[in-house]
Amino acid sequence: MDKYVIWFQDLGMNDVPRVGGKNASLGEMIHGLSEAGVRVPGGFATTAHAFREFLQHEGLADRINGLLADLDVDNISALREAGARIRGWVVETPFPPALNEAITEAWNKMVAETEGEFTVAVRSSATAEDLPDASFAGQQETFLNVSGLDGVLKAIHEVFASLYNDRAISYRVHQGFDHAEVALSAGIQRMVRSDIGASGVMFTLDTESGFRDVVFVTASWGLGETVVQGSVNPDEFHLYKPALDAGRPAVLRRHLGSKAIKMIFGENGQSTRTVQVSEDDRLRFCITDVQLEELGRQAMIIEQHYGRPMDIEWALDGVDGQLYIVQARPETVESRADGQVIERYRIRSPRTEVLVRGRAIGQKIGAGKVRVVMNLDEMDRVQPGDVLVTDMTDPDWEPVMKRAAAIVTDRGGRTCHAAIIARELGIPAVVGCGDGSARLKEGDAVTVCCAEGDEGRIYKGELEFEVLRTRTDSMPEVPVKVMMNVGNPGRAFHFRNIPNAGVGLARLEFIINSMIGVHPKALLNFDTLPADLKDEVARRFAGYPDPVSFYVDKLAEGIATLGAAFHPEPVIVRLSDFKSNEYANLLAGERYEPDEENPMIGYRGTSRYLSDDFRDCFELECRAVRRVRDEMGLTNVVVMVPFVRTLAEAEGVINLLAEMGLKRGENGLKIYMMCEIPSNAVMADEFLQFFDGFSIGSNDLTQLTLGLDRDSGLVAATFDERDPAVKKLLSLAIQAARKAGKYVGICGQGPSDYPDLAEWLMAQGIESISLNPDTVVETWLRLAGDAKGRQDA
């Protein structure tokens, strides 16, 4: 029987030539990982020998090879015509009697061993599929909820025919695979009842940056085809592997997807159908933290077993509540990237209007004319260098996608088809835009930017941009720690690839502004808000248990993402330093903020924390930091306190932090102070008695020393961190910290703007210089050259 059919449990990775990568991998997991807790639904596979014998039946192979021999796959019309003809031949050709008998026998055994009714998925598995140097994923067909022997035989026929889909033919030609050398195996696998549960895809690295310490999970209601195809915008999560290993809370990031539709089992002979998701289900995550962490652990077991990053499909059974792995293959894009080369895309010309926003795929920028193509019949209109705009893509679009300078889709998440192919092709894509195909006009020039964080933006017009490439495997030594200012957690995994000694400044304001957007008082006093405002705030915390949990969880997610990305290097997190006018700009902020004449030197920083009015808000920040350090184990997170005006405030805030569970020295906690007021430098010895070190904020220190408002265009030309008075105060702070044996670094804008100031600070003996990410490599090399010059002299 195993000449034609083999049970999954009798297969392993050595059987790729017999049953293809997908089916061999299922067998490998069933017999190799079941005892480790990885659950894989059972079934059987037809063999490559069976496929080849089928092709010899009635002269099918000769007809196929004759038609493909002279085919120009770049002629899309000819490709489509040839593919359709071959698929028709395959479906019409009967199976050889021996193959038909073997499938029937295996199916009957499956029926005999199963209590009650069941259905199967019939999946394709190419013998060259899922090898590390080739990704045939999604090119052949999958048929879900197949019932009965006749249904299985028909689906296997369709699977065999799908080896000659247009995209599969084109891919083999472009990758140099001989059509005759690639065979197909059909996998018949018991269905998981995820139609009444949830499903999705996970990767054992971050798909955008290649960061290996996370598991990236996407999830949506119903069968997983909607996630793979990109017809839904799924929930997305990142889990931290070291926390999973240690049994600690591991969810770093959550993104609530719209999940507007789901695929479920069909009725009246229909295998599947797509239905709308209820509003309640759209507004909640479709998988719990406990389930996520179980998935993460299974993913890590699979990755360890295979010894490489993996791309895994999973399903949550709505009947038994169990999680199942239904496919696993090697990840083929980021794991092959050269980690020693940093490629940075940067817009040079002034930014224009943002026309559309979505999820950024890749870290690149592309520009061109909009080509709105809503169905396959219009694909020929896409010319090289166009920006392809559509609702969603599937594998049939692949022959034309490589022409595009960038791709924009209305639907899909980071593991949808468009995202996967864009990564493979190395072009930027913005997915899940909602209405991009309606808002972007045919023929208009646009710039698609995926180099500014999680959010991808389509700007009006073709903007000038540059690409900076730097090798990082031979960076020279410098006598100072070069750190980074990182505000956006969405860029953290990417920025960690830049040479660094950690994060010198992570501002909570960025997390509050971009990830929360609501004044903390409005969340604390949610029940007292007017009805219209209450509805708007409620939309913001959808997916979270309550408004306060939303604030704390989002803060913790942002801090934890930064802490995990740069671990074990220190990540200095500055507690919130919004000024009253900035807090007022948050949703509901005007209800709670005073109208100050000069907010720059008003109600901000430590004076806020110590006021009775803000104490409950500050406690939420402390709760988030405690969660990250104490529960998740990211003790590399250092707390920094901003705008400490007096010694009394210094003592008061240290006592308040201890009262709120952040006691200096406990669990290795270090607390730094922002040195940004002239009094801080003049009284540096005294301030340092309360803190573990200084981080100098040169922006505020300069404006307060020179008595000028850096936000005023009238006096902006006078603002210069290199002014002698400012440098004198900088020197006082540095020498005091060195004398006390405590940390001193600088995190202001000055060293990023003025390399000569960075050199001066290094000569003064500063311990670290924290720079904007785009200036790190250039400044590093300059500092190394300057240090060498002094040594040579």
| Residues annotated catalytic, as ranges | 417, 747
Please answer whether residues 217 and 295 qualify as being in contact, where contact means their C-beta atoms are separated by less than 8 angstroms.
yes
Spatial distance between the Cα atoms of 38 and 35, rounded to a whole number of angstroms:
7
Token pair in block for residue 410: 């209305």
Spatial distance between the Cα atoms of 752 and 770, rounded to a whole number of angstroms:
8
Structure-derived torsion over alpha carbons of residues 766, 772, 773, 775, reported in degrees to the nearest 10 = -80
Q: What is the DSSP string of 28-57?
A: HHHHHHGGGT-----EEEE-HHHHHHHHHG
SS3 content of the chain, % helix, strand, coil (to 5): 45, 20, 35
Tokens 């000028």 map to which residue?
A: 708
Please answer whether residues 381 and 194 qualify as being in contact, where contact means their C-beta atoms are separated by less than 8 angstroms.
no
Q: What type of residue sits at position 627? A: R
Beta bridge partners of 274: 263
For 114, half-sphere exposure in the C-beta direction (CA atoms, 13 angstrom radius) is 17
Structure-derived torsion over alpha carbons of residues 735, 741, 742, 746, reported in degrees to the nearest 10 = 40
Q: Would you tell me how many other CB atoms lie within 10 Å of the CB of residue 429?
A: 32
Q: Which residues are within 8 A (CB) of 107 and not within 5 positions of it... i.e. 6 or more apart? A: 149, 152, 188
Spatial distance between the Cα atoms of 252 and 556, rounded to a whole number of angstroms:
8
Q: Which residues are within 8 A (CB) of 539 and not within 5 positions of it... i.e. 6 or more apart? A: none
Token pair in block for residue 760: 């001066």
Give the containing element (helix H, strand E) for 507.
strand 503-507
Spatial distance between the Cα atoms of 272 and 500, rounded to a whole number of angstroms:
51
Cα–Cα distances (Å) from 569 to 158, 395, 504, 662, in that order, read 53, 42, 10, 20
Nearest of 204, 197, 168 to residue 183 by alpha carbon: 168
The DSSP 8-state label assigned to residue 512 in this structure reads I
Own/partner long-range contacts of 216-221 (Cβ < 8 Å, ≥24 apart): 216/414, 216/415, 217/287, 217/292, 217/295, 217/296, 218/257, 218/413, 218/414, 218/415, 219/285, 219/286, 219/287, 220/257, 220/259, 220/262, 220/286, 221/259, 221/262, 221/277, 221/281, 221/286
For 145, half-sphere exposure in the C-beta direction (CA atoms, 13 angstrom radius) is 19
Q: Would you tell me how many other CB atoms lie within 10 Å of the CB of residue 731?
A: 16
Spatial distance between the Cα atoms of 209 and 693, rounded to a whole number of angstroms:
33
Spatial distance between the Cα atoms of 482 and 502, rounded to a whole number of angstroms:
8
Nearest of 327, 235, 220 to residue 275 by alpha carbon: 220
Please answer whether residues 740 and 688 qualify as being in contact, where contact means their C-beta atoms are separated by less than 8 angstroms.
yes
Token pair in block for residue 40: 């894989």
Structure-derived torsion over alpha carbons of residues 415, 417, 418, 424, reported in degrees to the nearest 10 = 80
Spatial distance between the Cα atoms of 103 and 108, rounded to a whole number of angstroms:
9
For 412, half-sphere exposure in the C-beta direction (CA atoms, 13 angstrom radius) is 29
Nearest of 393, 445, 396 to residue 422 by alpha carbon: 393
